[in-house]
Structure 1
């Protein structure tokens, strides 16, 4: 992690906006958690860039429709955009959403931005809510839409993207130590009320997410599939609860999306992928990565949402 001075200085780094891909006018994109925050800004930017089809995946359709109406008004693209329901607290909702995705003619990218910060302990399907939403459901969706991304590569001769939005708050030493001390099954250990710590729970879910994405990308390399799979430790929007959790001082440093010319005032902090510590990718990190992966697949199987890894790892 950078020093605090470097971290504060980074908030004022100039961030140029890259040019859109040449084929974006034919492209289909999905953004989860698209009714608010950077998910909303991402969707709006895709409108500005001229993408043909943009799907806002949201938990509450009415909020999605309101967001879509605003985006259409601001971009002048009145006939573009769709709202699809996706509730990451329900694995059945994830499966239904994925089935709908697989009926699309084409998918260029899915940006899995949706996530949750929990200040109070709550179980859903026997799993602590932030672990379910940020890790289990997010990865299940990744597994289920990967075939459509691969199909689109072959059918349209394009390179597609599976992007899972993470955070390098997960790279704090106390998060690493907390994960290393968890006994037995990781998902069981993180779903015990007496050990729930809101200051650690969110970052550790993001660390589990990063390990899972790294493992998936190692099994399905872009050289084989044409699908770029990555966890993006991006300029993370700090929700009001997140600011309260981590530090009120962070809000004072947060810049706005307007400052990088995306025409909005959503606060976020700049967190850089170059700060990935060695312990994430070294031999110890690889063992932890395999542990996370095995426990994740075991949990999905036990919940009736198993993943055929052999099918995922067979070249198309």
Structure 2
């Protein structure tokens, strides 16, 4: 039986790594693990291989700000498989640049522009899938405009205009992709919730962040089509957010 071909960007750590691990544990996936740093990607690969997962995995050097790595990724997957079934745009950063202008530029480039460019590059391979191809953009509830304006929202006092705006932009990119490529290709925005990761110094257990296992389990349901009735929407683990 042919394996489902998936690409997870930012797959060497945090939510991305856990998603790769959970997919591989099913034994029905061949996962391309995108990593900006090839050395970090290879270290993550060794960790996965030590777990003796039944699925198969390869590392791809993939920097969301460099078109040359995006083009090379498309070439690699095209030559090896001729199609792509699942694209998960997970890679994201919180910039530590000294100025707001630089923070916005850096975060938009990785968190919004990169996924838009990558999606555009992989659409021809997604359309060649014989399964039900899907794109899942890992967003954040912090990117919801409606929630930002709601004083009762838990994130109401969180400033973070740079990160918020980059995820709001990703949500529009999601909506545009669904309008343009659906229903042939299913497209979702998904917020995994506040999760322990290296995204920022705030993403810790002490601050109430969930474990990656807790956050990624419901994401796998989206990958596997269990929430297809909510396609084209902004989902989280138990429902959906307003745009």
Q: TM-score range by the shorter chain?
A: 0.7 to 0.9
Match of 1:101?
A: 77
Secondary structure of the equivalent of 1:144?
helix
Q: Aligned partners of 1:128, 1:261: CA distance in 2, in Å?
A: 28
Taking structure 2 as the reference length, the TM-score comes to 0.76
User: Is this contact kept in 2: 1:122–1:129, CA < 8 A?
Assistant: no
User: What is the deviation of 1:93?
Assistant: 2.4
Q: Which has the higher helix share?
A: 1
Match of 1:162 among 113, 122, 135: 135
Match of 2:210?
A: 255
Counterparts in 2 of 1:115 and 1:27: CA distance versus 1, 3 Å: same
Counterparts in 2 of 1:242 and 1:271: CA distance versus 1, 3 Å: farther
Q: What is the RMSD of the two structures over their aligned residues, measured on CA atoms?
A: 3.3
User: What is the deviation of 1:275?
Assistant: 4.7
Match of 1:294?
A: none
Correspondence 1:220 to 2:181: yes
Structure 1: segments with no counterpart, 5+ residues: 1-22, 178-196, 263-269, 281-316
Match of 1:232 among 190, 208, 212: 190
Match of 2:117?
A: 140
Counterparts in 2 of 1:173 and 1:98: CA distance versus 1, 3 Å: same
Secondary structure of the equivalent of 2:56?
coil
User: Is this contact kept in 1: 2:89–2:136, CA < 8 A?
Assistant: yes
Match of 1:202?
A: 163
User: What is the deviation of 1:261?
Assistant: 9.5
User: Is this contact kept in 1: 2:62–2:73, CA < 8 A?
Assistant: yes
Correspondence 1:66 to 2:43: yes
User: What is the deviation of 1:75?
Assistant: 3.0
Match of 1:242 among 185, 200, 211: 200
User: Is this contact kept in 2: 1:59–1:87, CA < 8 A?
Assistant: yes
Taking structure 1 as the reference length, the TM-score comes to 0.60
User: What is the deviation of 1:91?
Assistant: 2.7
User: Is this contact kept in 1: 2:141–2:193, CA < 8 A?
Assistant: no
Correspondence 1:85 to 2:61: yes
User: Is this contact kept in 2: 1:232–1:273, CA < 8 A?
Assistant: no
User: What is the deviation of 1:94?
Assistant: 2.1
Counterparts in 2 of 1:206 and 1:49: CA distance versus 1, 3 Å: same
User: What is the deviation of 1:163?
Assistant: 1.2
User: What is the deviation of 1:100?
Assistant: 2.8
- Larger Rg belongs to: 1
Match of 1:26?
A: 3
Question: What do residues 44-67 of structure 1 show as CA deviations (whole Å, max 9, x unaligned)?
Answer: 011101134211110111111111
User: What is the deviation of 1:231?
Assistant: 1.4
User: What is the deviation of 1:71?
Assistant: 1.0
User: Is this contact kept in 1: 2:215–2:237, CA < 8 A?
Assistant: no
